[in-house]
Structure 1
Amino acid sequence: MAHDRVSARNRHPRHERRGEARLPAVVATLVAICLYLALPQQLLVAPRYALPALEVLLLLPLIAINPKRLTRQTKTFRVLSLTLVLIIAASNLVALGLLVDQLVHAKIADGRSLLIAAFQVWLTNIIVFGLAYWELDRGGPVSRTQVPREELPLADFRFSQDENDDAVQEVADGASKVSDWVPTLVDYLYVSVTNSTAFSPTDTMPLSSRAKLMMAVQSVAALLTSLLVIARAVSILH
């Protein structure tokens, strides 16, 4: 038990300024790109490979700047990373709009392809908003591990670890004040999953206006997918 407590105080990415691993964000981005590539042609607003090619071109220099761990940040790095997330988010929201339009005007008769497309849009929605929260909260992934806490930008989200320092010892040992914990991509993806399924925050609360606005957009997009798209697809199947 004592060993576990010591590990809790030293295992988080801020320690020794190691930075967060690059690979999870790369994998999440590539999955979102592949999901877009697999969408039906009528849900695309540009040639199938145009936007994915642009997204890969934006991703490559980001990997080059921080190939293994996110420890270096420049203005160019910040602009590229936010632009990449914005493009993925915009293209997915447009695909959702086109999907709803196809349904409203009864242009799709294949319920199975519709269900698959709805799932692709919904899953991309989770990934891209998780990436957006990850990129923006407390200055982004580099800032969260490299900048002293007193110099961090104001938080966009309050995680349970941020207020657990007065809980029972086995919980408090993993709190932000005790272990110097900061959220990683997995934490933001979890926030995104719960917001897309419960249509509201669960254990993580939005603090800033931009966080609340993004969560509202994500919830509405997920609600449209769940209620309108899937309901229509099931009715077609029957």
Structure 2
Amino acid sequence: MTGRVPVTAEGPSRPASFGEARWPMALAVVTAMVLTLLLPDGLRLAPRWVLPSVEGLLLLALIAGDPGRIDRRSTALRALSIALVGVLALSAVWSTAQLVDDILQGGEETDSATSLLQWGGSVWACTVLAFSLLYFELDSGGAAARAHRLPRTPALAFPQQLNPELAGPDWRPRYVDYLYLGLTNATAFSPTDVMPLAPWAKIAMGLQSLVSLLLLGLVVARAVNVLA
């Protein structure tokens, strides 16, 4: 899809889909890759270049298969997207578990308040990005499916869906909406304006809240203890 609206004798016709640009999702993946590269060896799931290389290849395959706007419905592309999100989520959860273990055991990554806050912030940011991409990919069949049709019963209910008068006629949730969901869920430790309806959405949001609460609580407590 090029995003151009076909014109008939009666004027512009309704576009066949409303695919969003690929670059916000791609930028989030690249940011997570960079943060993973900068983590110390003890907080990474694999050697420094392994996971970023895998994530980069999956991202390039997605861009090649559906460049520009995300609107091509394909089983292969869907599998690639889920695989990419799965790798990101696994990496973020692993880094969180390792950082928590280091805090409890007094590992070298947590010896100083500066390094603790630096690595803790990086791991926390990775979890926010990973879960935002998870919501983005799993809600309503993924971005490509949403570009063509929004289901009557979404997994995640945004304010514009609960109150249609607040949205335009062709409104679709974009990646920024899912990033905002991931950020607020990680800071409020509970749903804010987006309501989880599907069981998987409730489990994912609950898991993210628990991970974020555990991570932030231990990092802050350890930092205060080191400074004291």
- Normalised TM-score (structure 2): 0.89
Paired with 2:72 and 2:85, the residues of 1 have a C-alpha distance of 19
Q: Is the 8 A contact 1:62 1:81 kept in 2?
A: yes
Code of the residue aligned with 2:158 in structure 1: it is F
Paired with 2:187 and 2:101, the residues of 1 have a C-alpha distance of 23
How well do the aligned residues superpose, as a CA RMSD in angstroms?
1.6
Deviation at 1:114, TM superposition (A): 1.2
Deviation at 1:164, TM superposition (A): 1.7
Choose the corresponding residue for 1:216, options 206, 210, 215: 206
Deviation at 1:98, TM superposition (A): 0.7
Q: Is the 8 A contact 2:103 2:222 kept in 1?
A: yes
Match of residue 113 from structure 1: 115
Identify the range of structure 1 (68-77 vs 103-112) with the bigger mean alpha-carbon deviation: 103-112
Alpha-carbon distance change, 16 to 76 in structure 1, aligned in 2, over 3 angstroms: closer
User: In the TM superposition, what whole-angstrom CA distance separates every residue of 1:114-162 from its partner, at most 9, and x where no partner exists?
Assistant: 1111101111111111111010111110100123x4xx38411111111
Paired with 1:234 and 1:52, the residues of 2 have a C-alpha distance of 33
Match of residue 132 from structure 1: 134
Match of residue 25 from structure 1: 25
Q: Which runs of structure 2 are paired with 1:1-238 in the superposition (5 Å)?
A: 16-108=16-108, 109-147=111-149, 149=150, 152=151, 154-165=153-164, 172=165, 174-175=166-167, 179-238=169-228
Unaligned runs of 5+ in 2: 1-13
User: In the TM superposition, what whole-angstrom CA distance separates every residue of 1:83-124 from its partner, at most 9, and x where no partner exists?
Assistant: 111111111111111111111111231221111111011111
Code of the residue aligned with 1:163 in structure 2: it is L
Unaligned runs of 5+ in 1: 1-13, 166-171
Q: Is the 8 A contact 1:71 1:142 kept in 2?
A: yes
Deviation at 1:235, TM superposition (A): 1.8
Identity of aligned residues (%): 43
Q: Is the 8 A contact 1:15 1:180 kept in 2?
A: no
Identify the range of structure 1 (81-90 vs 224-233) with the bigger mean alpha-carbon deviation: 224-233
Structure 1 stretches of 4+ with a deviation exceeding 2 A read none
Q: Is the 8 A contact 2:16 2:148 kept in 1?
A: no
Q: Is the 8 A contact 1:112 1:237 kept in 2?
A: no
Q: Is the 8 A contact 1:39 1:117 kept in 2?
A: yes
Match of residue 5 from structure 1: none
Q: Secondary structure at the match of 1:17?
A: coil
Q: Is the 8 A contact 1:138 1:153 kept in 2?
A: no
Q: Secondary structure at the match of 2:225?
A: helix
Q: Is the 8 A contact 1:194 1:202 kept in 2?
A: yes
Deviation at 1:210, TM superposition (A): 0.1
Q: Is the 8 A contact 1:20 1:184 kept in 2?
A: yes
Structure number with the bigger relative contact order (C-alpha 8 A, sep ≥ 6) is 1
Code of the residue aligned with 1:72 in structure 2: it is R
Deviation at 1:42, TM superposition (A): 1.2
Paired with 2:54 and 2:33, the residues of 1 have a C-alpha distance of 10
Paired with 1:159 and 1:38, the residues of 2 have a C-alpha distance of 34
Deviation at 1:15, TM superposition (A): 5.1
Paired with 2:158 and 2:45, the residues of 1 have a C-alpha distance of 37
